[in-house]
Amino acid sequence: MTPGNTNNSSHLLRSRSKIAPVLEALAARHQRVMVELPDGQGVVNTQLLLADPVGEFIVVAAAADQALDAALLALARVTLVAEPDDWHIEFVGIAPSAIVHENRAAIRLGYPEILSVQQRRQDERYDASTGLVLRCVADAGGFAPFDAQIRDISLGGISVLLYPPDVMIEPGTVLLGSRIEIPGADTVTLDLEVRYSELVTLEDGRRARCSGFRFLNAPEDVKQKLVDAINNR
């Protein structure tokens, strides 16, 4: 077992050289971001499409609801929140304006001057990459099941799931009835929500897609089975 750091830690990034890599990484995976509108007008759930430190702007996708879009565009300052994997990231964009980005409706905002980054992991993390292979049939209860391998797990959710590079999963996708096979124990079935996806190169040079997930409505006894299997390997 390799426990992760269970203490929350936060940082304020103020220099462009430190802010840019974080925002560019979020934009590369079209990270979902949330904007809570004032006066109970609702919440905008969208995606970060572009972060351009040279042009000093960021671009997010327009909301599906035009009323939410209008409310966001009426603001002078917009606080955006992203939660990739175990992180809580907040930043402010100013002067939002409606644009078209790569043939889709979008909103452009001024580039953030400060980035708040907080590690919010509360669960111990268990490394399943050595000595135990957890095979997962992802989306077994959905329309397009595929084989994957779990490399890193916590009680809060699977953080590293490797699968073939030609499988494309958008953030927010729910993989229904995913079956996780535990050697010497029962197979457990869980719904998994993808938090991010990216291409990686494995130690043997092969390419794979790596995604972070969280459990959806998983009973505590089911999650405990996974941790017990890793502890007893």
For residue 221, being part of any structural domain is answered with: yes
Same-domain status, 93 and 147 = no
Same-domain status, 200 and 130 = yes
Same-domain status, 66 and 165 = no
* CA distance linking residue 59 with residue 52, whole number of Å: 9
**CATH code of the domain containing 108:** 2.30.110.10
CB-CB contact of 72 with 96 (8 Å): yes
For residue 179, being part of any structural domain is answered with: yes
For residue 208, give its domain range: 125-231
Residue for token pair 């109970």: 40
For residue 2, being part of any structural domain is answered with: no
Q: How far is CA 53 from CA 31, 57, 82, in A?
A: 17, 7, 18
- Domain limit, last residue, from 102, 119, 136: 119
Per-residue pLDDT of the chain (233 residues; tens, 9 = 90+): 333 333 444 578 888 888 998 999 999 989 999 999 988 888 999 999 999 999 999 999 998 889 999 999 999 999 999 988 667 899 999 999 999 999 999 999 999 999 988 765 444 444 444 445 678 888 888 878 888 887 766 656 566 777 877 777 777 788 889 888 877 777 888 888 887 777 777 777 888 888 878 888 778 777 777 767 666 65
Tokens read off for 231: 């502890």
**CATH code of the domain containing 154:** 2.40.10.220
- Domain limit, last residue, from 68, 91, 119: 119
What counts of helices (H) and strands (E) characterise the chain? 3, 16
Provide the residue type at 206 as one letter. R
For residue 205, being part of any structural domain is answered with: yes
Same-domain status, 133 and 224 = yes
Phi, psi of 112 (to 5 degrees): -65, 145
* Number of domain units in the chain: 2
Predicted TM-score (pTM) of the model is 0.52
Q: Nearest to residue 172, comparing CAs of 57, 61, 59? A: 61
For residue 213, being part of any structural domain is answered with: yes
Same-domain status, 92 and 183 = no
- Domain limit, last residue, from 93, 119, 145: 119
